[in-house]
Structure 1
Amino acid sequence: MPDWFTDSYLGIEVRQYIGLGALVAVTIVTYAAISTALRIYVRVRFEAADHAFWHGERARLGRSLWALAVAITLLLGFPALDFPQVAEDIVEQLASLLGAVALVMLGFRGVDIFTDVLARRAALTDSRFDDQLVPLLNTALKILTLIIGMLFILGNLGVNVTSLVAGLGLGGLAVALAAQDTFRNLLGGVTIFADRPFQVGDWVVVGSIEGTVEHVGFRSSRVRTFYNSVVTVPNARIVDTHVDNMGLRQWRRYRATLGLAYHTTPDQVQAFVEGVRAVIRANPEMRKDYYIVEFTEFGASSLEVLLYCFIDAPDWNAELRTRHVLNLDIMRLAEELGVEFAFPTQTLHVASMPGQPAEVPEAPARDQLGETVERFAPAGAGGQRTDQPITAGYDNTPDGT
C-alpha cells in the first residue's frame, strides 16, 4: 500500500476517503439494481395496461429506495473503513434508523399499491362489500406496519421493547379510560363491518341524516346528502340508532293522486282508470302482481284517482327515470281520452242579475226521482258494474277486486 494512502486530511486518511467514494458508487449501483429488478418484474408479471400505473409508483418509491440503498451500504461497508469505534457506532445507529424509516415508507407504499390493485378488481364485481373492505384493509395494514417499524426503531435505539410492551398494560388501561369514545367508535366500525347494515353506495337514513354512503372507516362513516354536502357520522352513533337502508328495498313505492276535472264524464273516468292500469302493465320496470288504480274521492276541486304502484329500480336515479316514463304515458293517455287534469279553482255562480228574476232549475217530479233511484238499485242498470268495464282485461286490479 503506498504511503500516501495513510496520509490524513481533516482527521480522515486518504484510503478512507477512497472507501467513502466507493460506498457512494456502491449505493448508486445498489439503487440501480433494485430499480431495474422492479422494472423487469413489472414487465414480466403485469399486463401492458398496468405499466403506466407501475411507472408512476416506481417514481414515488424513488426516495424510499434511495434511503434503503444508503442504509444497506453503510451497514455493510462502513465497518471496513477502520473508522474509530465511536464513529462506527454512530453511523450504525443512524443507518439502522434510516433503514427502518425507509422500510416503513416502503411498507406504506406497498400497502397502497396492494389495496389499489384490490380496489380496481373490486370495482369489476357486482358486490359492493369488497369496495367497502378495501379502505379498512388499507388502514389496518398501515397501522400494523407502523407498529412493527416503531418497535424495530426503538429496539435499535437501545430501548428494551419487551419491558415497554409489558408496561403498556397499566398505561393502556389509563389510555382506554381517557379515550372511551374513540374505542366505542372503533368497535362500532367493527360491528358495521360484521353486520353490514349498509354498504358503500347505499341510500340510508340515519336519524336526521339522509344520503348516500361514500366511505366506511374504523372511526366514522361519511354520508353525502342530497344537498351535496358530506356528513361524517361516528360509528358508535350509527350502531346505537336505527338505520333505514333505502337501497335494500325490493320495490320502490310510487303513490300519487291524479285529480281530474269535474266535467269529466263517468265513462271517461272509468276509461282513464283502466288505461292507467294498462300503462303499468306495459312498463317493464313496474311490479305487475300488485298495484292499485281507483277513483277514490270527490275532492274540493277534482275527481281524485289513487295511483299506488311499485317500481323495480336499483337506485334513485333509475326510480326517477321510471317515474318520468310512467307520468308521460299517463299524460298521453289523458290527452287521447280527452281527460283534463284539475287544479284548485273556485266557480262563482250568479243567481240573477239586478232587476231580473232568479233562474231556478226545475226539479224532477217525485215519480221521476223514484224511477232514477230504482235504476241504480240491484235490479236496475244505471250503475257501474264490475262486469261492465270500458275495456277487456284492465277492469280490475291484480288481486281480482
Structure 2
Amino acid sequence: MQEFLEVTTFIGLSLYQWITLIIIAISAYFILHTLWRIAINKLSKVSAGTEHKFNNTIAEVLGSTQKITLALFALLIALQFLELPERWETRLSHLTFFVIGIQIALWISKSITIWSSVQLLEKEGQVPNPVITSMLSWILKVAIWSIVILAILSNVGVNITAFIASLGVGGVAVALAVQNILSDLFASLAIGLDKPFVIGDFVVFGEVAGSIERIGLKTTHIRSISGEQIVCSNTELLKNIIHNYKRMSQRRVEFKFGVTYDTPATTLAKIPDIVKSAIETSDRTRFDRAHLKGFGTSSLDFEVVYFVDSSDFNLYMDTQQAINLYMINEFKKLDVSFALPTTNLHIRSLESAKTQ
C-alpha cells in the first residue's frame, strides 16, 4: 500500500506526499487561526474600557486579515516539509512573496482607513477637515498598492522599468481626458489647505447664500437659506469672491435716515446724541459715529455707524429694531418728523405771471 502511495504521482508529488501536505496544511491553518483569534481577543480586552487606542488599532488591523491568507500561509508552511522539484521551489518563492505583499498592503490600507476615520471625528473646539483627510487617504492607498503591485511584478521577472514608462505615457493621456475632474480635485486640495471655509460656515458668493454641508473631492454641497441643496463644482466655487460670515468677529452696521427741513438747528444738534444713546442701550454694540451728512432733495440726511460684537444676523436685526424704536420715541418728544419723499409745487397767479 505504501509503495502504491509513493509511486502514484501528480505534478511531481506522490499520493503519500499529497496526503502529508493536506494534513500539515489543515493543522497549520487551525493553529494560525487559533493564534490569530487569541491575539485579537487579548488586544481587545486590554483596550476595552481604557484609552489604549494603539492596542485597539492593532486589533482592528489584525481583524482585517483574510482567512484565505491564513489558508495560503498554512499551505506554504506545509510545502516546506516536502522536497519539491526546483521549478516548484521557484514558484513557491513567488507565491510566498505575493501572499505576504498583498496581506501587508491590506494591513496598511486598513490602518489608513482607521486613521482617516479618527481624523474625521469632530473634536472639541475643532472642525474636521474631510478634504485633506480624504485626499491623503486616497493618495496613500494608491501609493501603497502601486508599490506592492510593482514589487510583485518585479519578483516574478517583469521588467517594471518599461512598464512604469508606459504607465507614464498612459497617465498623460488619461490626465488630458479627465482634466476637468483633476481640476476639481486640485481645487478641493486648495480648499483643504487654505481653508477659506469649513463645514458649518455661512458663505455668500454670486447669487448663492447658505451654510456649507459637505466638502467633497469634486463638489461642495451648500444648504441655501430657502432650504434647497446647492451642489457647486470646487473649481467654479473658487473662481468667485467668497464672503464667509461665520468668521466675522464683529459686524459693522451703517444706516441712514432723514428728518424734515423744518427741524430747528438746535434740535438737529441733539439728534447725534439721541442716536448714540439708542445704540449704547445694548451691551453688545459699540457706537462709532453719527453725523448730519448732507442736504437731500426732501430731507436733512444723517449717517450712523456702529458695531455689533457678534456675527449673528438675528442679533443684529434685534439690535437695529431696538435702536429704531428708541429713536421714534425720542424724536416724538422733540417733535421731530422723519422725512418722506415730497415735492413742493409753487403755483403763481395769472396776474403775477403777466407782470413778469
| TM-score of the alignment, normalized to the shorter chain, above 0.5 | yes
**Paired residues for 1:1-400 under 5 Å:** 11=15, 13-36=18-41, 38-39=43-44, 42=47, 47=51, 54=56, 62-64=63-65, 66-81=67-82, 97=98, 99-120=100-121, 123-125=123-125, 133-155=132-154, 158-193=157-192, 196=194, 198-201=196-199, 202-216=201-215, 219-226=217-224, 227-235=227-235, 237-239=236-238, 241-247=239-245, 248-249=247-248, 251-256=250-255, 274-288=273-287, 290-292=288-290, 308-313=305-310, 318-327=311-320, 329-330=322-323, 333=326, 337=330
The answer (yes or no) to whether the contact 1:131–1:200 under 8 Å persists in 2 is no
C-alpha change, 1:147 and 1:16, in structure 2 (3 Å) is closer
Question: The residue matched to 1:198 in structure 2 has which SS?
Answer: coil
Question: The residue matched to 2:312 in structure 1 has which SS?
Answer: helix
Once the two structures are superposed, residues 46-71 of structure 1 have per-residue CA deviations (whole angstroms, 9 ceiling, x without a partner) of: 617x69x949x956863435454334
Question: The residue matched to 1:243 in structure 2 has which SS?
Answer: coil
Q: Distance in 1 between matches of 2:293 and 2:146?
A: 70
Residue correspondences, number: 329
The answer (yes or no) to whether the contact 2:181–2:218 under 8 Å persists in 1 is no
Once the two structures are superposed, residues 143-165 of structure 1 have per-residue CA deviations (whole angstroms, 9 ceiling, x without a partner) of: 32332343345446653333311
1:320 aligned partner, one-letter code: F
Q: Distance in 2 between matches of 1:271 and 1:67?
A: 88
2:147 aligned partner, one-letter code: I
1:220 aligned partner, one-letter code: K
Q: Distance in 1 between matches of 2:101 and 2:37?
A: 20
Q: Distance in 1 between matches of 2:9 and 2:130?
A: 62
After superposing the two structures, state which structure 1 stretch, 207-216 or 90-99, moved more: 90-99
Question: The residue matched to 2:158 in structure 1 has which SS?
Answer: coil
1:323 aligned partner, one-letter code: Y
Q: Distance in 2 between matches of 1:171 and 1:157?
A: 23
Structure 2: gaps spanning 5 or more residues:
341-356
Quote the offset at 1:326 in angstroms.
0.8
Quote the offset at 1:113 in angstroms.
1.6
The answer (yes or no) to whether the contact 1:295–1:305 under 8 Å persists in 2 is yes
Root mean square deviation of aligned Cα: 5.1
After superposing the two structures, state which structure 1 stretch, 130-139 or 21-30, moved more: 130-139
Q: Distance in 2 between matches of 1:242 and 1:281?
A: 37
Quote the offset at 1:35 in angstroms.
1.4
* Amino-acid identity (%): 19
Q: Distance in 2 between matches of 1:65 and 1:245?
A: 50
1:243 aligned partner, one-letter code: I
